[in-house]
Amino acid sequence: MSSKQQSHQRVFVVTGANKGIGYEVVKKLSTNHPNDLILLGSRDQKRGEEALVQLGSPTNVKVFVLDTSSKKSIEQAKEELQNKYGGHLDVLINNAGIVINDSSLKALKDTFDTNFYGVKYMNDTMSPILRDNGRIVNVSSGIAAMTMKECSQDLKTKFLDPNLTDSQLEQLFAGLFKAVEEGKDPATVGFNPVKRSVSDDYFLLYYGTSKLGVNTLTRIEARDWEKKYSAKNVIISAVCPGFCATDINGNAQGGRSAELGADSILHAVYTENLENGQFWRDGSQLPLESK
């Protein structure tokens, strides 16, 4: 790849792309952008290569080893972008996410390391090399707005504060971590699990809170972009792909296809004049708190 090709070629990074929704996003991008570069993010080289073969080994897709729960891995990924792929980025899709069916402190930490901090570290690291007219899509979930609804009024007010900073956002989660560490009910610090007919599942509270963090972070990042970075006309969005039948939920019955989830994400990549910092599903704006 010549330096001239590199400078004109658009570069897309999709995390968590060796299966599920991320795989479908890469599949669509590889078809839509035959002359651009699509980097298929995978924590594991072998699984990434297997996904590439499954795609038919298109020449515009490369395996991009990346563990978003690791700062070191993210920094190494940036170095690879700079050394091998022209040193710029046009579209970043933060798709990697996990659900852990466990209420332990470790489960909470692991969930946040990938779902929230992974997004924050990716954006902090990659934003300086994003080019004009770039897009960042932070994949979220409808349960984020449901989790917001169940929070105490005091927490809601803080999450929705238009002047909230990213460091203040992180501090809002400290109470949840402390409560879990001390064996206390998270409700005592304002975090209530989404109520389901069968039970109050605290692992869903962990997942939902991490995605609530993503939605709030998206708003903060969009608001502060011009203060921090030089690239112009960058749009940052949070997107709900819908409840899709994928490995993350054991291919749950009644879920829609990963392909439809990918379409929801790509609305935020392709739609012109999209309102910055908002939460979307299938091209329609969603509230940060469920009704």
Do 274 and 222 form a contact (C-beta atoms < 8 A)? no
- What residues make up the domain containing 252? 3-103+112-142+211-286
Whether residue 235 lies inside any domain: the answer is yes
pLDDT in tens, the chain (291 residues): 444 345 569 999 999 999 999 999 999 999 999 999 999 999 999 999 999 999 999 999 999 999 999 999 999 999 999 999 999 999 999 999 999 989 999 999 999 999 999 999 999 999 999 999 999 999 999 999 999 999 999 999 999 999 999 999 999 999 999 999 999 999 999 999 887 644 456 778 999 999 999 999 999 999 999 999 999 999 999 999 965 546 565 555 565 777 788 999 999 999 999 999 999 999 999 999 987
Distance CA 44, CA 41 (A): 9
What pLDDT is attached to residue 162? Answer: 97
Residue 5: predicted pLDDT: 44
Q: Are 190 and 197 in contact (CB under 8 A)?
A: no
Distance CA 147, CA 88 (A): 36
CA quadruple 247, 253, 259, 264: dihedral, nearest 10: -100
Total structural domains within the chain? 1
Q: Report pLDDT digits (tens) over 49-87.
A: 999 999 999 999 999 999 999 999 999 999 999 999 999
For the residues of the chain, what is the DSSP string, one character each?
A: --HHHHHHS-EEEESS-SSHHHHHHHHHHHHH-TTSEEEEEESSHHHHHHHHHHTT--TTEEEEE--TT-HHHHHHHHHHHHHHSTT-EEEEEE------S--SHHHHHHHHHHHTHHHHHHHHHHGGGEEEEEEEEEE--HHHHHHHHHS-HHHHHHHT-TT--HHHHHHHTHHHHHHHHTT--GGGGT--PPB-SS-B-HHHHHHHHHHHHHHHHHHHHHHHHHHH---SS-EEEEE---SB-SGGGTS-TT-B-HHHHHHHHHHHHH-TTPPTT-EEETTEEE-SS--
Q: Is 202 a domain residue? A: no
Residue 157 lies in a domain: no
Q: Is residue 188 situated within a structural domain?
A: no
Question: CATH no. for residue 49?
Answer: 3.40.50.720
Tokens of 160: 């929705």
Task: Give the gyration radius of the chain's Cα atoms.
Answer: 18
**Inter-residue contact 260 to 244 (CB < 8 Å):** yes
Q: Which of 117, 121, 207, 270 is catalytic?
A: 207
- On whether the CB atoms of residues 166 and 120 are closer than 8 A, the answer is yes
Report pLDDT for 4. Answer: 39
Q: Is residue 176 part of a domain?
A: no
pLDDT in tens, 225-244: 999 999 999 999 999 996 55
> Is residue 262, in this structure, part of any structural domain at all?
yes
What pLDDT is attached to residue 31?
98
Mean pLDDT taken over the chain: 92
68 within a domain of the structure (yes/no): yes
123 domain-assigned? yes
Structure tokens at 242: 């819908």
In terms of C-beta density within 10 A (0-12 exposed, 13-18 middle, 19 or more buried), how is residue 285 classed?
exposed
Length of the chain, in residues: 291
Catalytic annotation present for 270? no
Looking at residue 212, its pLDDT comes to 98
